[in-house]
Amino acid sequence: DVKVTQSSRYLVKRTGEKVFLECVQDMDHENMFWYRQDPGLGLRLIYFSYDVKMKEKGDIPEGYSVSREKKERFSLILESASTNQTSMYLCASSLPEPWLYTDTQYFGPGTRLTVL
Amino acid sequence: AQKITQTQPGMFVQEKEAVTLDCTYDTSDQSYGLFWYKQPSSGEMIFLIYQGSYDEQNATEGRYSLNFQKARKSANLVISASQLGDSAMYFCGANSGGSNYKLTFGKGTLLTVNP
């Protein structure tokens, strides 16, 4: 079974702090993703990575950066946390299929981040 | 770009009955995939079922089936014999071929199964 883990289930930080959210997958997947989920807005893609050191912006990258130094690990960084970044953050990974549209993404348990 | 619409913010169903959760999508791509995920109150997103745009038969996985109507651009999820544990948020998603691996989601439907 695919296992995607996230470093924390719940996190409370203060405005202006630098925040690191870590995600690790154990299935040797090339692709990794960070989403945020807000009530009424569904899931929105922040960043994704299709290889080590490779990244692409998603729909809402502002205020975030990412790092992928190893294949199994994808980090989301909030350089200076703000209250509007209070949200549920979900990490996912997928193995590219021969036909790209058949990729199935597998999700971690999520991190509920509160910025005070 | 994909756009996913789930028009039912909430649905109720009696235990053991079947329920259909609606999903329509809007894409100009010829090749795409359609997905359904379940999110219980604990927060994790659980993959349920996948349908490819070229698949002629509707996908089924146990009690889940995907009613795929390509001309209508709809991909409704049917859950048969509902169980109390099916109470959760359900998200429809789609991606498409090309260099963008992005999965676009609808806003979700909250399903409540009543005993």
Question: For the segment A17-28, what is each residue's pLDDT rounded down to a tens digit?
Answer: 999 999 999 988
Q: How far apart are CA A96 and CA B107, in angstroms?
A: 25
pLDDT at position A24 is: 97
Q: Cβ of A48 and B105 within 8 Å?
A: no
| A residues 31-60 closer than 8 Å to B (CB) | 31, 33, 40-43, 45, 48, 50, 56, 58
Question: For the segment A52-88, what is each residue's pLDDT rounded down to a tens digit?
Answer: 988 999 989 999 999 999 999 999 999 999 999 999 9
Which residues of chain A does B43 touch, with a Cβ-Cβ cutoff of 8 Å?
Answer: 9, 88, 90, 109-110, 112
Which residues of chain A does B100 touch, with a Cβ-Cβ cutoff of 8 Å?
Answer: 56
CB-CB: which of A42, A100, A109 is closest to B44?
Answer: A109
Comparing C-alpha atoms, which of A28, A56, A21 is closest to residue B102?
A: A56
Q: Which residue has the tokens 């009955």?
A: B17
| pLDDT averaged over 10-residue windows placed end to end, chain B, 115 residues | 90 97 91 93 92 91 96 96 97 75 88 97
Confidence band, pLDDT 50/70/90 cuts, at residue A41: confident
Sequence-ordered list of residues with C-beta below 8 angstroms from that of A64, at least 6 positions apart, any chain? A34, A46, A47, A76, A77, A78
Comparing C-alpha atoms, which of A22, A19, A18 is closest to residue A8?
A: A22
